Structure 1
Amino acid sequence: MSRRWLITGASRGLGRALAEAVLAAGDRLVATARDPRALEHLVHRHGAAVRLAALDVSNPVAADEAVALAARSFGGLDVVVNNAGYGDVGSVEDTSLDDFRRQIETNLFGTIIVTKAAIPLLREQRSGHVIQLSSVGGRIGAPGRAPYSAAKWGVEGFSECLALEMALVGVKVTIVEPGGFRTDFAGASTSLDAGRAEYDAVVGATARRQAAYDGTQPGDPARAAQAVLALAAMDEPPLRVALGSDAVAAIRDADERRLAELERWRDLSISTDFPAQ
């Protein structure tokens, strides 16, 4: 059966690859972007199967209108993909509060806003699947990316809570954590600030590594799109899934370190309980 999708940030990167894969699979799509003119090729190729919507994810009114467009055009929604986002590189000290707010507004509040816009429709249907594009940076503090990691860690916590609530009304939630993919995320979409010498070993190294990394990332966006299609077809999808061998390795290593640290400090941790009676 043809699924009905809404994808944010569909004009570039993983969002664009997923939009093209969804339509190639015969599904229907509300494709959104700040400037939907960048998506007109989808209409030319797929006609009535696709609707375009201008959406700044920080705008609740626009989010409501995008969901309403899906309801009018397709009679409902089966999959909502919160993909829109970006992440700049810079030190905490040198990143302005305005830059912090902009990145958190897009990456975290944008996800919350679009999700909340979709929930009433999904609840009434008692079905649907919300797929949140997080990142390896949502599981591991990414050097030089404090605003991005803060936002993505927020997406992860928000989505865990969401999953527990939505399960009561038949709606599934999956958090997708990509590693490095050959999109423009590491290129034109990102501002790199190597910053001052004191932080060069971390922030400067990240900026240099990202500049060199662009175009050589291990991840294939088309294959990522197929993985998301597979998730959308599952009766019992995972709450979390990493995408890419680099993501799997990094998350495994980080989780092992966390468990070791938890055990190392276990006696101090449990010393705060009231004495046993």
Structure 2
Amino acid sequence: MKTFLLTGAAGGLGRHLVEAALRAGHNVLATDLAADGLPEPHDRLRVRAVDVTSSDAARAAVRYAVDEFGGLDVLVNSAGHRSAGSIEDMPEEEFRRNVEVNFFGAVNMVRAALPVMRPRRRGNIVNVSTIGGRRAQAGLAAYQAAKWALGGFTEILAREVAPIGIRATLVEPGGIRTPWAAAPLPMPPLHDEYEPTVGAFVRTYSDNPDVRRGDPAKMARVILRITDEPDPPVRLLLGSDAAWLAPLIAEARAAEDAAWHEVSVSTDLDGLGDFSRTPVAWMVRPSQKPFDERSSDR
């Protein structure tokens, strides 16, 4: 039996995660911005209203989980906020709200959980992102920029904590069939110049419900499974749409990098050797593993 702390648990994927963890026999602290949408508590389920944008609230939630269940084994950050709009037209407050919830909310929860997991040298952290954290869609600058940041944060987190027995995974779903995902994208009025890009995307997204093809119950079961894996992935795509799109994004970026390679390498100081043979290169190179002891042997 493990103890799970779940954010964004009142609906959508978060609610399915609560149900999956309980069915598996685990203890769960289910949290959301308001407690009234959370399930009724019982012997293995506690509920709590938590504003993840508050570091004090995040620390209090972790303390509550430890007080109620004796520890914390798994943190799943699924709280989210989204809105559409052009970069120019979106109000600053709404732009910041996207970043505060989708990025700093997860950061706050992770920073609160690590002092509990680190001394025990074990634990799992799952940050729920989106395939949008790899791509760039006109109209979703605030939401996707926060998810891009969350992706980088999670990869760095995985490298930092793997040597002490803690595992971190970024889950990147495509569209999910939930009421939250089906709700109209909030969007302020647009300047006419953004109608062919931002406006067209929002209309197409709203008019095509099949884009939301992911089964949240199946996704919850997969997330639960990876918390039992001894070597979980650092990034995990969920959904056929995400699995189709990710290679296309990577190929397009690699092609542009290759096209401009000569310009890129022309800007070094003269007389320097091959960077790839330096000790720093071994440390910063990508790896299948978040921590590779060979990087400390060079």
TM-score band by shorter chain is over 0.9
Amino acid at match of 1:181: I
Q: TM-score scaled by structure 1? A: 0.94
Q: Give deviations 1:116-167, integer Å, cap 9, x for gaps.
A: 0101001011100110111111111122010011111111111121111111
Q: 2:136 aligns with which of 138, 141, 166?
A: 141
CA distance in 1, matches of 2:44, 2:56: 24
The answer for the alignment partner of 2:286 in structure 1 is none
Structure 1 residues without counterparts, runs of 5 or longer: none
The answer for the alignment partner of 2:31 in structure 1 is 32
CA distance in 1, matches of 2:168, 2:154: 7
CA distance in 2, matches of 1:192, 1:226: 33
The answer for the alignment partner of 2:5 in structure 1 is 6
CA distance in 1, matches of 2:255, 2:225: 34
CA distance in 2, matches of 1:17, 1:139: 25
Does residue 116 in structure 1 map to residue 101 in structure 2?
no
Amino acid at match of 1:212: D
> Shift in Å at residue 196 of structure 1?
2.9
Question: Alpha carbons of 1:189 and 1:168: their partners in 2 closer, same or farther (altered >3 Å)?
Answer: farther
Q: Give deviations 1:184-206, integer Å, cap 9, x for gaps.
A: 23333741447232112221112
Q: 1:249 aligns with which of 234, 244, 247?
A: 244
> Shift in Å at residue 72 of structure 1?
1.2
The answer for the alignment partner of 2:64 in structure 1 is 69
Does residue 239 in structure 1 map to residue 238 in structure 2?
no
Q: TM-score scaled by structure 2? A: 0.87
Deviates more, 1:182-191 or 1:257-266: 182-191
Check the 8 A contact 1:194/1:207 in 2, yes or no. no
CA distance in 2, matches of 1:189, 1:61: 32
Question: Alpha carbons of 1:210 and 1:194: their partners in 2 closer, same or farther (altered >3 Å)?
Answer: farther
CA distance in 2, matches of 1:199, 1:254: 23
- Match of 1:40, SS? coil
Check the 8 A contact 1:89/1:194 in 2, yes or no. no
Check the 8 A contact 2:31/2:49 in 1, yes or no. yes
Does residue 55 in structure 1 map to residue 54 in structure 2?
no
- Match of 1:23, SS? helix
> Shift in Å at residue 93 of structure 1?
1.0
- Match of 2:53, SS? coil
Deviates more, 1:202-211 or 1:82-91: 202-211
The answer for the alignment partner of 2:153 in structure 1 is 158
Amino acid at match of 2:103: L
- Match of 1:174, SS? strand
The answer for the alignment partner of 1:265 in structure 2 is 260
CA distance in 2, matches of 1:215, 1:252: 21
Check the 8 A contact 2:90/2:188 in 1, yes or no. no
Structure 2 residues without counterparts, runs of 5 or longer: 273-298
Check the 8 A contact 1:13/1:221 in 2, yes or no. yes
Does residue 221 in structure 1 map to residue 216 in structure 2?
yes
Amino acid at match of 2:100: E
Check the 8 A contact 1:86/1:148 in 2, yes or no. yes
CA-based RMSD of the aligned residues comes to 1.5
Between Structure 1 and Structure 2, whose CA radius of gyration is higher? 2
Check the 8 A contact 1:22/1:229 in 2, yes or no. yes
> Shift in Å at residue 233 of structure 1?
1.1
% identical aligned pairs: 41
The answer for the alignment partner of 1:104 in structure 2 is 99
